[in-house]
Amino acid sequence: MLIVEKYGGSSLATAQRVAAAADRAADHVRAGHRVVVVVSAQGDTTDQLLSLATQVSDRPSPRELDMCLTAGEQICAALMAMALGALGVDAVSLTAAQAGIRTDGTHGDARPIGLATDRIWRELARGRTVVVTGFQGVSQAGEITTLGRGGSDTTAVALAAYLGADKCLIYTDVDGVYDRDPRKFPDAQRFDRIGHDQMLALARGGAQVLHDRSVELAKQYHVPIQVLSSFRPGPGTLVTDEPPDQP
Instruction: Give the interface with ligand ADP as residue ranges (CB under 6 A).
Output: 8-11, 40, 150, 172-174, 177-178, 180-183, 202, 207-209
Interface of this chain with ligand ASP, residues 38 to 57, rule: CB under 6 A: 40-41, 46
Question: Could you tell me where the beta strands, DSSP code E, fall in the chain?
Answer: 2-7, 34-39, 91-94, 101-103, 112-115, 129-133, 136-139, 144-146, 167-172, 193-195, 225-229, 237-240
**Do 199 and 210 contact (CB within 8 A), yes or no?**
yes
Residues sharing a CB contact under 8 Å with residue 61, sequence separation 6 or more, in sequence order = none
Report d(CA 81, CA 90) in Å as an integer.
8
- State which amino acid sits at residue 53: A
**Beta bridge pairs of residue 103:** 112, 139
Burial of 94 (0-12, 13-18, 19+ CB in 10 A): buried
Interface of this chain with ligand ASP, residues 125 to 144, rule: CB under 6 A: 134-135
* By CB under 6 A, residue 98 contacts ligand ASP: no
Complex with ligand ASP: residue 85 or 181, whichever CB lies closer? 181
* By CB under 6 A, residue 112 contacts ligand ASP: no
Interface of this chain with ligand ASP, residues 163 to 222, rule: CB under 6 A: none
- Shortest separation between residue 90's beta carbon and ligand ASP, angstroms: 26
Q: Which of 24, 119, 149, 180 binds ligand ASP (CB under 6 A)?
A: 149
* By CB under 5 A, residue 150 contacts Mg ion: yes
Complex with ligand ADP: residue 6 or 128, whichever CB lies closer? 6
Applying CB under 5 A, the span of 31-39, 147-155, 178-186, 216-224 interacting with Mg ion comes to: 147-155
Complex with Mg ion: residue 72 or 150, whichever CB lies closer? 150
Report d(CA 93, CA 128) in Å as an integer.
10
Burial of 234 (0-12, 13-18, 19+ CB in 10 A): exposed
Report d(CA 151, CA 136) in Å as an integer.
8
- Shortest separation between residue 83's beta carbon and ligand ADP, angstroms: 18
Q: Which residue's Cβ lies closest to ligand ADP?
A: 8
- Shortest separation between residue 224's beta carbon and ligand ADP, angstroms: 17
* By CB under 5 A, residue 244 contacts Mg ion: no
* By CB under 5 A, residue 176 contacts Mg ion: no
- Shortest separation between residue 97's beta carbon and ligand ASP, angstroms: 17
